[in-house]
Amino acid sequence: MSGSVLTLNAGSSSLKIALFRPDDEQPIATGMADRIGGDCVLTVKDASGTILSERRGAALQGATHEAVLQALVTILTEVRLAQDIAAVGHRVVHGGLVFTTPTLVGDDVLSQLAALEPFAPLHQQHNLAGIRAAQRAFPDALQIACFDTAFHRSHPFVNDVFALPRALYDEGVRRYGFHGLSYEYVTQKLAILRPELHAGRVIICHLGNGASACAIHDGQSIASTMGFSALDGLPMGTRCGQLDPGVMLYLLQQKKMTPDAIADLLYKQSGLLGLSGLSNDMRVLEASDDPAAKAALDYFVFRIRREIGGLAASLGGLDALIFCGGIGENSRLIRARVCSDMEWLGIAIDPVRNASNETILSAQLSPVAIMMIPTNEEIVIARAAFGMIDRQKALRLRGQGDLPPL
């Protein structure tokens, strides 16, 4: 019997965990830390949603990721859930060209992943900080990295390349795509719910504070709206989405902005927040009467619709459109607006099903199936971690030492 698996998703100012027992895909505990580095709040709940512990105040004021993880370990120990953690599974945003499967992390792998930090400056360093903290907190546990870019390595060349000198492509300047763990989960779920659709042409819209869309054929990623970085494609909560590279030259040459200032602008001041001047929270924008909030939503919907059209062209047609992510799963308004007047593509949403947040959202005679499937990146990570535990056990029984990555 395998030990427990702790999944860890470390963001720039957040830390999300889930604890899984073998053969059970419902976590026995979950934890969330918000505003790390500032007025941090840490909450741990059991499987029923009951709060086991909540900490805030001076003890966590300005705490680092490592300090927050140590506080989580203390809580799990107090409630007797930390004693048999055999592996910690980590979401890592960027795996580059080398890491295309879940990978056992040691010092060499950490060094290779650290070299990818310029490719994902908002995420990678915090993902790796989470791994280092977990190594110290659980020195006897396996550390397994699962990569958001891995799902998209099946892209054909035309959806992988930029029209730049080929030497840059060979150096790694290419379209990687992100949100891969989410797309992997939804694709696997679709194979169970509707295997005939899974075998066909599918577009999944992962809409949240980070947003992207992906064209998938027979379970394989064909094209994604995100490219070299997690800035490209759809507008997001605070990220700009698609941008004419000439804007970058203008900001550098004419506005004399520094690279750091431009990065802050594109990653943290743009998107729905920048357009509205109000908030990056979809709930706030939907409830607002401010014309700027309406304009931000108009642009968000316009870009999604435009990308759906382009992705459908890359697939040669469309059999299913699936929504997931915080906005995709909860915003009936955005789903309705995205699907409005899209009958030319075979998309017809049922307003009653949409209002009820059902799994099947398409009208009865809609040629394209429209669905809402809640994503679950933690389960994808946990499955990979349990698989690695079993693989390592089998290896030791054969006396062969450590296996290479999956």
Same fold flag, 4-147 and 195-372: yes
What is the rounded average pLDDT for all residues in the chain?
A: 93
Name which residue leads in pLDDT, 195 or 405. Answer: 195
Cβ pair 320, 371 in contact under 8 A: yes
* Whether pLDDT at 207 is above 80: yes
Q: Is the dihedral of CA 155, 158, 164, 170 positive or negative?
A: positive
| Residue 336: C-alpha distances to residues 282, 348, 361 (Å) | 15, 10, 10
Mean pLDDT lowest for which of 109-113, 128-132, 343-347?
128-132
Half-sphere exposure of 316 (CA within 13 A, CB side): 3
Phi and psi at 40, nearest 5°, equal: -70, 140
Active-site residues, by number, are 148
CA distance 84 to 338: 46
**pLDDT tens-digit series, residues 217-241:** 999 999 999 999 999 999 999 999 9
Stated pTM of the model: 0.93
pLDDT of residue 1: 44
pLDDT, tens digit (0-9, with 9 covering 90-100), for 165-206? 999 999 999 999 999 999 999 999 999 999 999 999 999 999
Nearest to 229 by CA among 210, 256, 253: 210
DSSP string covering 116-170: TGGGSTTTHHHHHHHHHHHHHH-TTSEEEEEESSGGGTT--GGGT--SS-HHHHH
User: Domain 195-372 adopts which CATH fold?
Assistant: Nucleotidyltransferase; domain 5 (3.30.420)
3-class SS at 43? strand
pLDDT score at 39? 86
Residue 248 has pLDDT above 90, yes or no: yes
- 60 pLDDT band, cuts 50/70/90, is confident
The mean pLDDT value for 116-121 works out to 89
Query: Region 131-148: what's the mean pLDDT?
Result: 93
- Written out in words, the top-level CATH class of the domain with range 4-147 is alpha beta
- Ordered by start, the domain boundaries in the chain are 4-147, 195-372
